[in-house]
Structure 1
């Protein structure tokens, strides 16, 4: 702890160094001991600043990646554009640190107060769209699920090596698919290969799925518009008059 104090160790510096280590070595090469060596301190000093377990540190990393995505000053007059800005910034941020993408969904400890700024912005945008009550929460969950789900999947591939035995086996398996049984897969495979989920071995950091992400944003916005309109229609729908026998 004396060494940590002497070098001005802070939670922010620990998290910054942890992200840099993951950038360099990936999650497989990340450990508390490796991070302590990089900062030249004892592991206990890291726990002092970032919780008492490795999961606490991973949660701090996850939270740091996305907690400051947007501020109230970034709000657009059009709620749709606010959603677009959030999605684009989120993806750009995570693409800067692709090895950390798997941390986004699982680490629930990174939720809560640190994320309040961008949660507030999403809620404001959806409120302006016309959502309220439970529908507002459902819309919020849809936005966050789409936001984190796409990026996590996009950057989840292992990034195998061109010409490796694994890639050759992957290609052989696709070539062997029966066209009679899988006609659509075989027909569209040239367009899907390494440019779509599932039918790829390259990670999104080297083969980004840009068009699909933009398609997702616009589809989500259209769906939100339709759901909000549907909700408003229900509110003004006249009651069915009672019938008498």
Structure 2
């Protein structure tokens, strides 16, 4: 997957004598494993260096900052999300959204980092950008509407999945206890739909849950979301033609 990185200063210092031999790929691998195993709160340049048995300055020789290391981690996580080009634009977008969600499901603790990386310009995935633009152009979008549609795809691809795999709150057990009693506390006259559906929603619906998609996937809602998104783009093309 083609990628270009924004220019950045060289690392802060060469690895010191006696430190282990390192590579950027090794650093990224250890950093991702740390995030997977211990959570995002455990991730720092210092913690990665400790896992590698070196000083933090050795890490900075290969990546100028934590920010750029995050960009490299996201590149690894998302390296296989771009579908093959032989699909229709509708099926290509469905496959893109699905492959992105599957990539995040394998590394759910990375989800909060995605939005930051996509606005940072520390790493630009040219295959992803070109793939989306090409398929939307094939669909019939051009000029400013094409850019608008591209932005909508990025926002749509990231939005649902980032929310589905949001970080589990540290007080999840307390929240579970509170929400377990929630259905009985609803004023059915004022909130009839909530009262009717609360038992089904608690624990498995946005706002009313204490787990994320790693434990309680929201597959049905995701499929509806993707279908609605693609249908929405199709409707924009019909308006344009009309």
Same fold (TM over 0.5): yes
1:206-228 CA distance string (max 9 Å, x none): 00000111111111111111101
Which structure has more relative contact order (CA 8 Å, sep 6+)? It is: 2
Q: Match of 1:114, SS?
A: strand
Distance 2:184 2:45 in 1: 43
User: How many Å separate the matches in 1 of 2:19 and 2:141?
Assistant: 49
Q: Report how many aligned residue pairs link the two structures.
A: 228
2-structure distance, mates of 1:86, 1:76: 13
Aligned-pair Cα RMSD in Å: 2.3
The answer on 1:38 being equivalent to 2:51 is: yes
User: Computing the radius of gyration over CA atoms, which structure comes out larger, 1 or 2?
Assistant: 1
Distance in structure 1 (CA, Å) of the matches to 2:236 and 2:18: 53
User: Gapped runs of 5+ residues in structure 1?
Assistant: 234-245
- Report the TM-score when normalising by structure 1: 0.84
Q: 2:198 aligns with which of 183, 189, 203?
A: 189
* Cα displacement (A) at 1:88: 1.2
Quote the offset at 1:188 in angstroms: 1.6
Q: 1:76 aligns with which of 86, 106, 125?
A: 86
Cross-structure match for 2:148: 138
Separation in structure 1 between the aligned mates of residue 218 and residue 167 of structure 2, nearest angstrom: 12
Of the candidates 181, 193, 201, which is equivalent to residue 172 of structure 1? 181
- In the alignment, the residues of structure 2 paired with residue 6 and residue 15 of structure 1 have an alpha-carbon distance, to the nearest angstrom, of 15
Q: Distance in 1 between matches of 2:128 and 2:233?
A: 18
Note the residue ranges of structure 2 that are not aligned, 5 or more in a row.
1-14
Verify: 1:94 aligned to 2:104, yes or no.
yes
Alignment of 1:11-160 (within 5 A): 11-51=24-64, 53-70=65-82, 74-108=84-118, 111=121, 114-158=124-168
